[in-house]
A and B are shown apart, each in its own frame.
Chain A
Amino acid sequence: MIRKTLAGLFGLVWATSASADWAVNMPQGVTELSAETYDLHMMAFWVCTAIGILVFGVMIIALFKHRKSVGHTPAKFSHSTAAEIGWTAIPVLILIVMAVPAAETMIKIEDTRNPDVSIVVTGYQWKWHYKYQDQDLAFYSTLARPSLEARQLGSAIDPFAVDNYLLDVDNPLVVPVGAKVRILLTSNDVLHAWWIPELAIKKDAIPGIINEVWFRAEQVGTYRGQCAELCGKDHGYMPVVVEVVEADDFENWVAAQGGSVEALASTQ
C-alpha cells in the first residue's frame, strides 16, 4: 500500500517534470560581479558543509556509540575551558576569512561612477517604466499578453504551453553588451524591487528615494527576473526582462524607437 502510494507520488512528480528543469543552484550570471557573488555563495556553502560534516559527524557517532542500549555508562564531565575557548576562537577566524572577500565585492558593487548608459527605472503597481536618460526614450514594460491570459483564475490555459510563463514582457529593457549600465531606481506608489538573478542585481524601488545599481553584461542574451518586494495583488505579475545586444544593434534599436543616438556616439 505504502509502496503504491509512493510510486504514485513519484509518478506525479515525474509527469509534471517533463517540460521543466531541476535548477538547484544560483546562476553564475553574465557579469563580473555576478560571478564573484556566485563564488562568495559557494564559499559560504562549502564552509557550512565542512562545519556540518564535523558537527553532525561527532553527533552521529555519539548517537550510535554512546547509547544506553549498547551498555554505555555516562561520563561525568560537564565543562572544559580549553575546548570552549577553542570553539569560540576558531569560528571567529573562519568568519574573518569569509568577510574579507565579501567586503571587497561590496566595494565594487557600490562603485556606480562613469556609466555608459543611464536608465531611470520606476516601479508602478504593477509594471515597470524605463527612461533612458541620454537617449530621449521612455516606455512601460508590462506582463506579456499570453502570460496575462493564462494567469487568470480558471483560465483553462496550460502554463506549460506559454513561453516563459510570467517571465515575459511586451517591451523589454534593451542594453548594449559590455557597457556599464547604471540603473536609477525609484517608485511611483509602493515599494517594489528590481531583480535579475543572472545580473546579480536586486534593489528596492522606493517612492521619494533614488537608488543606484550598475551592471556590465558580458554576454548577449535575454535575462529574466521579477519584482521581489511585495507590492500588492499583482506582485507576481510584473517581470523584469533585459535584452543584452551588440552595440550596433542597440543603436539601431534606439533609432527605431525614435530615440536619440547622439549621446551614445559621444561616449564611444
Chain B
Amino acid sequence: MTTAVADTHAAHDDHGPAKGIGRWLFTTNHKDIGTMYLIFSLTMFFIGGTMALIIRSELAQPGLQFVHPEFFNSMTTMHALIMVFGAVMPAFVGLANWMLPLQIGAPDMALPRMNNWSFWILPVAFGILLSTLLMPGGGPASGWTMYPPLVLQTGDAFPFLIFSVHLMGISSIMGAINIIVTIINMRTPDMSLIRMPMFVWTWLITAYLLLAVMPVLAGAVTMLLTDQFFGTSFFLAAGGGDPVMFQHIFWFFGHPEVYIMILPAFGVVSEILPTFSRKPLFGHDSMVYATASIAFLSFIVWAHHMFTVGMPLSGQMFFMFATMLIAVPTGVKVFNWVSTMWRGAMTFETPMLFALAFVFLFTIGGFSGLMLAIVPADVQYHDSYFVVAHFHYVLVPGSVFALMAAAYYWLPKWTGHMYNERAGKLHFWLSTIFVNLTFFPMHFLGLAGMPRRIPDYSTQFADFNLIASIGAIGFGMSQLVFLYVLLTCKKGAPATAEVWDNPKGLEWTVPSPAPYHTFDVPPPVDRTVAFPKDND
C-alpha cells in the first residue's frame, strides 16, 4: 500500500500545507478546499437554521408576536436560498472534493486553481446576499422562486440578489466542470466507468445536471434584471411579456436542482449501507441506470410545480404521467437498499443510523411526492403546508441526514480520530425525533387548508403549528450536539486506515488522517475496488 501514500520525494521541495492564512486563501489542495466547503456549508446551515427558528417562533401561535409580515417573508426567502445554495449544495461539493479523488485513486482534482476559485466565490456571494437584510426596503421577500412581478417590488436588495445568484451559479458551474473532468480523466487506469463506486457515479450525473441547468437560472435572473432596469418586458404583461414564462424557465432549472440536492445523497447512502451490512451493494449497475433515469426524467417534469397556472389539459397530462414515472427508478433504489440490508450482518454505528433513517424518511417524502403528482389532488396540495412537509422530508431527513451520515462515516478518515459515538447517537436520536415532530404535522396543516408562506393563520391551525415549532426548536438545538462532536473529535481514539469493519473502496487504503497528498501514483485496483464486477 506504500504506493497509495505520498512519499517525500527528493525531487520535490515541499509537499506539506503552507503556513498561516495563506494555506487556505491560495490552496489548490482538494482536501483543504473540501474542508473549507464543509465548514462553510455548516456555517450556512446554522445561519439558515436560525432563520427557520425565527419563522417557527412567529408561527408557534396565531397572531403576530415577533416580526412584521415583510420581514417574515424575507426570512422564508433567505432561509430557502441559504439552505439550498449555501448549505446543501456546497456540503455535497465539499464531500466531492474530499472523497472523489480518494475514491478513484487520483492525486487531486483535475483543475485545482479553478477549484480554489469556485470555493472563494461562495463567501462573497453569501456575504452579498446576507447584506441585503440591512438594505433599504429589506432583504428579498418574494420567495426563493423569485416569481415576477412580485420580485420586481424588491427594494435596493434586488440587484444584489441577482448578482449573488449569478455568483452562486458561476461557482456551481466551475465545480461541476471540475468534477466531470476529474472523474472522466483521472481515474486509476483499472477502474472502468461501470466499476466506479456509487458516490462517484451519482456525483458524475449530478455534475452534468448542474452544468445543464445553472446557466438556465442565470438566464432567468438576468431577464429579471433587464426587466427591472433596462426596459425589457420578458415577464411583464403590460409590455406584452408573460409572467408564467419565468416559472417555466425557473422550474426547468428548479426541478433538476432538487435532484442535484438528492442524487449525491443517494450515493452516500449506497456507500454506507453495504459497509455496515457487511454485504455488497445490491444491484450496483441497476442503481447506476436508475440514477441516470432519474436525471433524464428531471428535465421533463418541471411544470408539475405549476399545475395551478392554467396550463392546457394536454400539458397537465404529460407532466402528470412523466412525474409519476419518476417513482419507478426511485423505487428501484429503495428496493435495492432494502435488499442490501437483507441477510446482511448489520451493526448500528452513527453513520448507519443516519443512513437507515434516510431510507425510511426519504421514502415518506417520496410517497407524498407521488401523491403530489396526481393533478386534481395537487390542486388542493399546491402552495399548502402539505408541499412544505413534502420537500422538507426529502431535504432534511433526506439530503441533510445523508450529509450527516457522510460526515460521521468519513470524519475518522479526515481527522484521524474516532468521533464520540455516544454523542453521535444522541445527535441521531434527537434529530430523528424532532425532525418528525417538526415536519409530520405539516402534512395535516396543508390538507386542512393552511397556505404556505403566511406569517399568521386562523385558529384551527394552532395546535399542529405549536407542535411543529416545538419540534423545530428541538431540531435546531440537537444540531449543537453535532457541533460538540466535531469540536471534540480531536480527542477521540486514533483511527485505523480502514476505520470500519472491512469497508470497500480506495479511500480506506490510505492512512487516517489521509495524508496531504495521496495517490501520486495511480493505485492498482484489484479486490480493494468498491464493486469488483469480475469477482462476484
Contacts and interface: CB of A to CB of B under 8 A. Distances in A.
A234 interface: yes
Contact of A235 (B343, B447, B453): B453
Nearest to A94: B327
Interface range on chain B (Cβ under 8 Å from partner): 35 or more
A179 interface: no
A74 B344 CA distance: 4
Contact of B244 (A17, A105, A206): A206
B374 A236 contact: no
A22 B342 CA distance: 39
A62 B237 CA distance: 58
A189 B65 CA distance: 29
Interface string A186-211: 00011101010100111110111101
A74 B345 contact: yes
Nearest to A206: B243
A268 interface: no
A88 B367 CA distance: 16
A62 B367 contact: no
Contacts of A262: none
B62 interface: yes
A26 B380 contact: yes
A242 to B, nearest CB: 13
Interface stretch (B221-229, B318-326, B481-489): B318-326
A139 interface: no
A111 to B, nearest CB: 9
Q: SS class of chain B's interface: helix, strand, loop or mixed?
A: helix
Given A228-B383, A236-B455, A79 B463 contact: no
B384 A228 contact: yes
A202 B379 CA distance: 6
A184 B383 CA distance: 20
Given A52-B367, A87-B331, A191 B149 contact: yes
What is the interface of chain A mostly: helix, strand, loop, or mixed?
mixed
Contact of B463 (A20, A55, A208, A228): A20
B266 to A, nearest CB: 16
B150 A200 contact: no
B456 A102 contact: no
B64 interface: yes
A99 to B, nearest CB: 6
Given A67-B347, A78-B281, A230 B453 contact: yes
A155 interface: yes
Contacts of B375: 102, 106
A23 to B, nearest CB: 4
A160 B331 CA distance: 45
Contact of A165 (B65, B344, B363, B459): B459
Interface string B321-345: 1001101100110111011011111
A206 B242 CA distance: 9
Interface in A221-257: 225-237
A2 interface: no
A92 interface: yes
A234 B336 CA distance: 47
A13 B69 CA distance: 25
A195 to B, nearest CB: 7
B212 interface: no
B216 interface: no
Interface in B132-161: 141-143, 147, 149-150, 153
Contacts of A66: 277, 341-346
Contacts of A87: 331-332, 335
B359 interface: yes
Interface in B264-309: 277-286, 308-309
Given A55-B334, A235-B453, A208 B460 contact: no
A191 B143 CA distance: 12
Contact of A44 (B63, B238, B374, B383): B374
B379 A37 contact: yes
Interface in B346-371: 346-348, 356, 359-360, 363-364, 367-368, 370-371
Given A55-B335, A76-B536, A230 B73 contact: yes
B449 interface: yes
Interface string A33-48: 1001100110011011
Interface of B: 61-65, 67-70, 73, 141-143, 147, 149-150, 153, 237-238, 241-244, 277-286, 308-310, 313, 316-317, 320-321, 324-325, 327-328, 331-332, 334-336, 338-339, 341-348, 356, 359-360, 363-364, 367-368, 370-371, 374-377, 379-380, 382-384, 444, 447-449, 451, 453-464, 466-467, 470, 531, 536
Query: Which A-B residue pairs are the 8 nearest by beta carbons?
Result: A208-B237, A236-B454, A48-B367, A23-B448, A211-B310, A75-B343, A159-B62, A78-B280
9 contacts: A62-B342, A66-B341, A102-B377, A195-B449, A202-B379, A207-B149, A228-B308, A229-B308, A232-B153
Given A51-B367, A109-B376, A204-B309, 8 more contacts: A40-B376, A72-B343, A74-B277, A87-B335, A191-B147, A200-B376, A206-B237, A230-B147
